[in-house]
Homo-oligomer: A and B are copies of this chain.
C-alpha cells in the first residue's frame, strides 16, 4: 500500500492533533484512532481523541478507550491538525461547527466528498486499521501490545474476523504480525463475540422467534415491548440482523426496530452481490453493498409487506 509522503511529513512536523472518527463508532474507528494516538504520543505529540458518541460497552476492552472525549474541552487550544479517521467528511464525525487550519483524512470508504487538505482514501483497503498498520510501519514506529491489540481489533471488526470478502493475504499477514507484537487473537474474539449480557441474548432469541422468510428475504422485528420485557436498549441490537444470514436460502436479512412515533429503523444485511444499499436508497437511507439502513413510518405489518415487495425484486436478480 502506497502511503502519501505528505501525511508522514505532517505527522512528523506538527505538534498537536485532534483525531476524530464517525458517530456510532465501530471497532475499526475506535481501534484506528487509539492506535494512531498512541503512536503519535510516542513521538512526543499532543493528541486529543474525539467522538460525539460514547464507546459502546462491548468495545471497552480496547486499551485506552477512556481517551475518547465527547466534547472539545482543551482540545482546540493548541490549534491542532484534524485527523479524520474511518470517514471523510466533518458531518460524519459531528464536526461541522468547528474549523481547523489543516486537516488529514484517512479512510477506506467510497466517497464523493473532497474535504481535507491531505486525503488518503483507499476503498480497496479492508479496514482503516490496516491503513494505520502500514502507516506506522512506514514511519518506523514500533507497535506496542496496546497498539497491536487496537489495530487487530480494528481489522477483525471490519473483516468479520477474517470471514468477509475483504479478507486478503495482506489482511492475514498483518494479523500475523500484530499477534507477534502483542495482540491476543482469542481474547479479542472472546471480547467481540462472547461478552453478551444475558438480557441481550434473551432479546436476540425473542427476536429470532418472529423470523419470517419470503422469497429469500428474512425479516425480524423488535417492538418497544420486547425492549421492556428484556430490559435492553437499541445499542444491544448490534449485529442482530446478521443472524438470519446463517440460513442458506437467505440472500437479504432485515431487522425492523421500533423507534417510536410510528417509525421503524431497518438494518439490512445481504450476501454476496446483492446490494442492499439500493433498497435503502429507495427509502432515503444508505450504506454499503452488504450492510445498509433506513427509517420508515407505518404499521409493522404494512412496513414489512412494502419492504418484502421491494426486496423481492432485488434478491431475484
Contacts and interface: CB of A to CB of B under 8 A. Distances in A.
A209 interface: yes
A72 interface: no
Interface residues of A, number: 43
Nearest to A168: B179
Contact of A198 (B170, B173, B249, B272): B249
Given A176-B169, A176-B173, A208-B205, A197 B247 contact: yes
A245 interface: yes
Nearest to A193: B246
Contact of A186 (B165, B169, B177, B194): B165
Interface string A155-181: 000001111111111111101110110
A313 interface: no
Interface string A186-206: 100110011111100100010
A185 interface: yes
Among A163, A164, A271, residue most surrounded by chain B Cβ atoms (within 10 Å): A163
A196 B247 contact: yes
A101 interface: no
Nearest to A209: B205
Interface centre among A180, A185, A246 (most CB of B within 10 A): A185
